[in-house]
Amino acid sequence: MTEHVTLSHEELDRLRIMTRIVERRLTQRRAAELLGLTERQIRRLYRTFKAHGAVGLASAKRGKPSNRRLPQKIRCRALELVRARYSDFGPTLAHEKLTEQHGLKLSVETLRGWMIEDGIWLPRARRMQRSYPPRERRACRGELVQIDGCEHAWFEDRGPSCTLLVYVDDATGSLMELRFAESESTFDYFAATRSYLAQHGKPVAFYSDRLSVFHVSKRDQAAGGKGLSQFGRAMTELNIEIFTIQEDRRVSDNLTLNYKRVLFVIEDTDQNRRLRRHRLSVHEHADGTITIHHAGRVLGHHAHPKDQARITQGAIVGNKRLADTLEWIAAQQRQRDLERLANPKVPLREKKRIRMAADLMA
């Protein structure tokens, strides 16, 4: 049975040379010049090739562990520490901690390979790329009009730079309104919208970017309520759906997602449970309301602000688990101090300071 072996590029070059020597199309002296070897090495390779064929040209070390390989117990110790304490660290930072805090001697690339093999670290090439599903255009002309502005030297050196306000119909891609303005200001958009309404009538909805003309980030400074800008207020009075800001967020295993420091909890249903680890579209409307969408379906949810659970500085808080938390922190501190005291690289002055601090806390 023929033995199969994988050869490197260098070994394939040697195989071609040996074949030409066997066919008497090349001398051993010329072969030595082509491969950069001595004639003695060529004779040895030739004898091996005649005796074993292409298999004899493969390196005998291939597939065998390196003599410089670290012991298995060091690998197990390093991965145990990474999983227990540094599971959210990258290989570089985890290597620093293992070297400084635990005295392990290994290279960053060795640790990187171990973390990848163990599934702790995912290299950039294997990470799932974010997908952007295509959005279907609206069915009817005037149903949705996209608004944007582009600052450019439109008149070259014949005039100053200015902004072109553009209104594009989503269904047909037609340019519905064009207007030059000094900047993307509220009054410039008022004028452009007035012209659009005079020619085409009211659209069902407008769509824009996060420009402050359309969206107010500080809700207490909004003109007409939560997140409502002057332009948005005017569109509301005209009964035109206002600009929605849309961003993608990933759902956790607990059916939660974060948007603007607020934790949103998705309604726990059989259908929604299938959306775990999926990306949903969060729509922020001009009046401040939030809707969450997936595949054309609006998902039921409720908000749980993170700030409600935040303890302000100076507040006296009664928490039955506070003592347990403090005890856990103290235990972690004691464990770290013991490890530093056992580390021969820590200076004696630092060890003395650690012992003094421990005596004071006792």
Residue type, 22: V
Q: CA-to-CA distance for 11 and 59, rounded, in angstroms?
A: 8
Q: CA-to-CA distance for 247 and 337, rounded, in angstroms?
A: 45
What does DSSP assign to residue 147?
A: E
pLDDT tens digit sequence for 253-285: 889 999 888 899 999 998 999 999 899 988 877
Provide the pLDDT for residue 287. Answer: 67
DSSP letters, 16-77, are HHHHHHHTTSS-HHHHHHHHT--HHHHHHHHHHHHHHGGGGGS-TTTTSPPTTPPPHHHHHH
pLDDT tens digit sequence for 122-135: 887 777 665 556 66
Confidence of residue 38 (pLDDT cuts 50, 70, 90): very high
Domain ranges for the chain? 9-57, 72-125, 144-237, 245-308, 322-361
CATH superfamily label, 144-237: Ribonuclease H-like superfamily/Ribonuclease H (3.30.420.10)
Q: CA-to-CA distance for 140 and 352, rounded, in angstroms?
A: 78
Residue type, 145: V
Provide the pLDDT for residue 164. Answer: 92
Confidence of residue 211 (pLDDT cuts 50, 70, 90): low
Q: CA-to-CA distance for 298 and 338, rounded, in angstroms?
A: 54
**175 pairs with which residues across the strands?**
168
- Nearest-10 Cα torsion for 209, 211, 215, 217: 120
pLDDT tens digit sequence for 151-204: 888 888 888 889 999 999 988 989 999 999 988 887 888 888 889 988 998 888
| Cα dist from 247 to 21, 210, 215, 281, whole Å | 67, 11, 14, 6
Provide the pLDDT for residue 325. Answer: 55
Q: pLDDT at residue 139 above 70? A: yes
What does DSSP assign to residue 312?
A: P
Specify the DSSP element, H or E, that contains 195. Answer: helix 186-200
Confidence of residue 65 (pLDDT cuts 50, 70, 90): low
| Chain centroid to CA 57 | 45
Provide the pLDDT for residue 228. Answer: 58
Q: pLDDT at residue 54 above 70? A: yes
What does DSSP assign to residue 196?
A: H
With a CB cutoff of 8 Å and minimum separation 6, the contacts of 104 are: 74, 77, 78, 81, 98
Kindly report the backbone phi and psi dihedral angles of residue 260, in degrees, each rounded to the nearest multiple of 5, phi listed first: 55, 50
Q: CA-to-CA distance for 212 and 142, rounded, in angstroms?
A: 24
Provide the pLDDT for residue 131. Answer: 58
The fraction of the chain above a pLDDT of 90, given in percent, is: 18
> Ranked by mean pLDDT, which of 19-23, 246-250, 306-310 comes out on top?
19-23
pTM of the predicted protein model: 0.35
Provide the pLDDT for residue 133. Answer: 60
Kindly report the backbone phi and psi dihedral angles of residue 298, in degrees, each rounded to the nearest multiple of 5, phi listed first: -85, 125
Q: pLDDT at residue 4 above 80? A: no
